[in-house]
Amino acid sequence: MASGPIVTIVTPSLNQGRFIRATIESVLSQDYPHLEYIVMDGGSTDSTAAIATAFGSRLKWITEPDRGQSNAINKGFRMAKGEIVSWLNSDDVILPGAVSHAVEAFKARPETGAVYGEGYQIDESGAIVRRFPYTEPFNLWKLVYLSDYVLQQTAYFRKSAVEAVGYLDEDLHYGLDWDLLIRLGLRFGLEYIPEYMGSLRVYPEAKTSMGGPARIRELGRILRKHTGMRFPPGYIAYGLDSWQAGMPGWLRSAARVVAHFGWLAVTQQGWHSDGWAAPRVRFMLPPGGGRIVVRGTMPAELRTLRGQRLRVESSGETLAEAALPRGDFEVRAPFQSSEAIHLTLLASKAAIGGDLKRRSYVLRGVQWER
C-alpha cells in the first residue's frame, strides 16, 4: 500500500512482561506500512522494559507514572500522528491484516466514527478458545441500551471523531471502551468489518475477569448517563447475569426468576436473535439525512401474517407506512436529523411461536440509504 493515512496504535502497559512480546510482535508484523506504535508504560518493574526496548526504533517507548489505563491511552492518543488511532492492551494481540482492513473500511466510510471486526478469545498460552461470541453488525439501540458487543481489540477510531466527542473518561476502569463507542455511535455511527482482526486474552487475573460488583456498578453509571433510565436493560442483564453466576446451586427457583428478568431485558428491543421482529421494535440511527430504509422478509408459509402492515415512527410521528408483500421487502422513509434518531417499527399482526415469542416478520436491518 504505497500511500494511506498514518495509523497509531497505543499499548498501555504495567508489569505485563509475560505477554507483551506477543502484543508488540502482533503490531509490528502488520502488512500496513504507515504505522506508528507507542507503548505507554506506567513504570513496570518486571521484564517489560527490556522486552520493549529491544525492538529499538520500531516503536516509541515511554515510561512514566500515569493515573491508570484510560489516562495512559489518552496521553498516547494526544501525541499520536495518526488520522486513525487504536489501543491494544499489553496482554492481547491483533491478527494479520487487521490494520489494512481498518484503513479500507475508513476509506469506504470516511464519516464513520469507528470500525470494528470479528475476533477470538485466547487463553494464557495464546491458543484460540473460541470466536468472541457477542460481535454483531452495528446496532445503535443495542449498543446504547443493552450490551457492548464490540471486541475492543478489533476497534479503530477516527482521531478527529474522538476529539469531537471527547477522549476516554479517565474515571472509568471497566467500561471505558463502551462509553467511548456509545458517544461515537450516537454522533457518527460505527462500521462493522466481517474479518477476524484481534484476540482477547482471557485468564483469571485479567481485569474483566476480576471486576465483580464494581464493574457492574460502573456499567450501570455509563448506561444511566446515556439512556436517562434508572434501570436500563443492559444494567439488568449484566447485573443479573453476574448475580446468577455466583449463586449456590440450591437456589433453583431464584435462578429461574433471574433468567426470566434477564430474558425480558435482552428482548427489550423487540428484534430476536433469529432475525424475527416482534410487533414493536425499537431502533436507533446516528444523525443523517435522505431516506431511512427498513429491509426485511415476509415468509410465505405463515398464513396468519397475510395482510401484514408496517409503520415506521419517530417520536410519535409516522414517517412511512406500507403493506408488506411476501418475500423480501424495503420500506423507505424520508427524514433529516442532526441528532441520533429513535425509531419505532410497528407491525399490525403477530404470530406466537413454540417459544411463546411474538413474531411479525424477519428484519434484515435499518439504516440510512447509501
Do residues 65 and 42 lie in contact, with contact meaning Cβ atoms separated by under 8 Å? Answer: yes
The mean pLDDT value for 331-358 works out to 93
Find the range with the poorest average confidence among 83-92, 167-176, 266-275.
266-275
User: Identity (one letter) of the amino acid at 363?
Assistant: L
Query: Is 50 exceeded by the pLDDT of residue 207?
Result: yes
Fold type of domain 7-205 = Spore Coat Polysaccharide Biosynthesis Protein SpsA; Chain A (3.90.550)
Pure H helices in 47-124: 48-53, 69-79, 98-108
Higher pLDDT: 271 or 238? It is: 271
With vertex at residue 341, the alpha carbon angle to CA 366 and CA 317, rounded to the nearest 5 degrees, is 95
**pLDDT per residue as tens digits for the range 277-286:** 999 999 999 9
* Predicted pLDDT of residue 242: 58
* Predicted pLDDT of residue 122: 97
Quote the crossing angle between the two packed helices 233-245 and 252-266, to the nearest 10°.
Answer: 150
Query: Is 90 exceeded by the pLDDT of residue 108?
Result: yes
pTM of structure: 0.92
What ranges do the domains of the chain cover? 7-205, 212-266, 276-368
> Are 7-205 and 276-368 the same fold in CATH?
no
* Predicted pLDDT of residue 356: 80
* Predicted pLDDT of residue 252: 47
* Predicted pLDDT of residue 348: 97
Query: Is 80 exceeded by the pLDDT of residue 210?
Result: no
Of 2.60.120.260, 2.60.120.470, 1.10.10.10, 3.40.50.10800, the CATH number of 276-368 is 2.60.120.260
Query: Is 70 exceeded by the pLDDT of residue 209?
Result: no
Query: Is 50 exceeded by the pLDDT of residue 265?
Result: yes
Nearest Cα neighbor of 296 from 347, 368, 361 is 361
With vertex at residue 219, the alpha carbon angle to CA 154 and CA 172, rounded to the nearest 5 degrees, is 75
**pLDDT per residue as tens digits for the range 214-229:** 899 999 999 999 999 9
Distance between CA atoms of 306 and 309, rounded to whole angstroms?
Answer: 9
Do residues 24 and 46 lie in contact, with contact meaning Cβ atoms separated by under 8 Å? Answer: no
* Predicted pLDDT of residue 335: 95
Nearest Cα neighbor of 167 from 153, 184, 185 is 184
The mean pLDDT value for 66-80 works out to 95
* Predicted pLDDT of residue 250: 47
The mean pLDDT value for 43-53 works out to 94
Q: Measured between alpha carbons, how far is residue 205 from residues 60, 94, 308 in Å?
A: 27, 20, 52
The mean pLDDT value for 296-317 works out to 92
The mean pLDDT value for 240-250 works out to 55
Q: At 322, phi and psi to the nearest 5?
A: -155, 150
**pLDDT > 70: percent of the chain:** 91
Beta bridge pairs of residue 8 = 36, 85
The mean pLDDT value for 290-309 works out to 92
